[in-house]
Amino acid sequence: MDAITIDIGNSTISIAVFTGQKHNRTETIPIEQADTRKLSDILRAFREICGPQPLNAKTVPVVVSSVNSTILELIERSVGDVLDQNILLIGREFPLEMKVAVENPDTIGSDRLLTAFAAYQVVESAVVVADFGTATTIDCVNDNGIFLGGVILPGLNLSARSLSEYTAALPCVTPKLPTDIFGVNTETAIQNGIYFGAIGAFREIVERYAEQLGQWPQIVATGGFSKLILRHCDFIDSHVPDLCLDGLYLAYCRYRDSLKAAKPL
């Protein structure tokens, strides 16, 4: 099934097109640069990639996850104007069929659940998903596919900004791959601290999860900074940059399959 998936995060909008059940292409727009023209161009291009649909259907499902209500309104308008159709928002038009063992499930970000869902569909055993984005989230799913919860930490950029904003003299730096463990100046000292601090926290959290699970889980990394983290993180099993978009597609396909199975013969 062809589909367009859109993940609206805190800092970026990621849009993917799936054709023939494969992730075909992804475009990412920083939130501050998002406008109707850019979104329209991507939507038109992705609809053309999908090509003719079965039974000459005009529409291709546009499946959305959002943690930003203002940008969600922009996406809804753009899809309506360009493709003459409505979006399918997870949690509103269709559910994410995943068991959770947390307080107030409705307050969990859909992006966290989708990445956990996507990882478990592939691994089918205990798995930890670390999403290195605006915030860093490290979530755990057990062998039975139950989302147990996780932790939320400031992302690398947020850590850098907070040091600058809440101190008198420290500069705001860009997180980058360290070249030496010793920071030879203030800038590299901050960069090294943020980078290796994130990896150290990641390792500690996974070890504590493993103690509770009674086994070492599979580890999956995703998000904008995941490729950077991967360079010095030897316990990551899989790196999937666009895991949330994959999760959206899988969740919608499962929902469609459940509807077909429920129809009387």
> From first to last of its 265 residues, what are the pLDDT tens digits of the chain?
899 999 999 899 999 999 988 999 999 999 999 988 999 999 999 999 998 888 888 899 999 999 888 999 999 999 999 999 999 999 999 989 899 999 998 889 999 999 999 999 999 999 999 999 999 999 999 999 999 999 999 999 999 999 999 999 999 999 999 999 999 999 999 999 999 999 999 999 999 999 999 999 999 999 999 999 999 999 999 999 999 999 999 999 999 988 887 766 5
Residues 83 and 132 in one domain: no
What CA–CA distance (Å, rounded) separates 30 from 81?
21
Residues 119 and 219 in one domain: yes
Task: Note whether residue 264 is domain-resident.
Answer: no
Residues 63 and 30 in one domain: yes
Residues 197 and 110 in one domain: yes
pLDDT of residue 259: 82
Task: Note whether residue 110 is domain-resident.
Answer: yes
Q: What's the pTM value of the predicted model, to 2 decimals?
A: 0.92
Q: What is the CA radius of gyration of the chain?
A: 20
Output the domain CATH number for residue 130: 3.30.420.40
Residues 111 and 203 in one domain: yes
Domain count, the chain: 2
Task: Note whether residue 47 is domain-resident.
Answer: yes
pLDDT of residue 264: 61
Residues 36 and 119 in one domain: no
Burial class (CB in 10 A: 0-12, 13-18, 19+), 22: exposed
Is the CB of residue 237 less than 8 Å from the CB of residue 218? yes
Which active-site residues does the annotation give? 111
Task: Note whether residue 95 is domain-resident.
Answer: no
**What is the pairing mode between strands 62-66 and 3-8?**
parallel
Task: Note whether residue 217 is domain-resident.
Answer: yes
Task: Note whether residue 236 is domain-resident.
Answer: yes
E strand map for the chain = 3-8, 12-19, 22-30, 62-66, 88-89, 127-132, 135-141, 147-154, 218-222, 238-239
Residues 168 and 117 in one domain: yes
What CA–CA distance (Å, rounded) separates 113 from 131?
11
* Ramachandran area for residue 17 (φ above 0: left; ψ -120 to 50: alpha; else beta): beta
- Taking CA 15 as the corner, what is the angle to CA 13 and CA 115, rounded to the nearest 5 degrees? 80
Is the CB of residue 4 less than 8 Å from the CB of residue 249? no
Residues 180 and 206 in one domain: yes
Task: Note whether residue 9 is domain-resident.
Answer: yes
Tell me which of 55, 89, 123 is where a domain ends: 89
Residues 131 and 236 in one domain: yes
Residues with Cβ within 8 Å of residue 108, at least 6 apart in sequence: 100, 102, 147
Residue 155 in tokens: 């992302």
Residues with Cβ within 8 Å of residue 129, at least 6 apart in sequence: 115, 116, 119, 137, 138, 139, 141, 220, 221, 222, 243
Domain membership of residue 118 as a residue range: 105-245
Q: Is 89 helix (H, G, I), strand (E, B) or coil?
A: strand
What CA–CA distance (Å, rounded) separates 132 from 156?
8
Residues 189 and 109 in one domain: yes
Tell me which of 89, 113, 144 is where a domain ends: 89
Residues 176 and 84 in one domain: no
Residues 22 and 63 in one domain: yes
Task: Note whether residue 175 is domain-resident.
Answer: yes
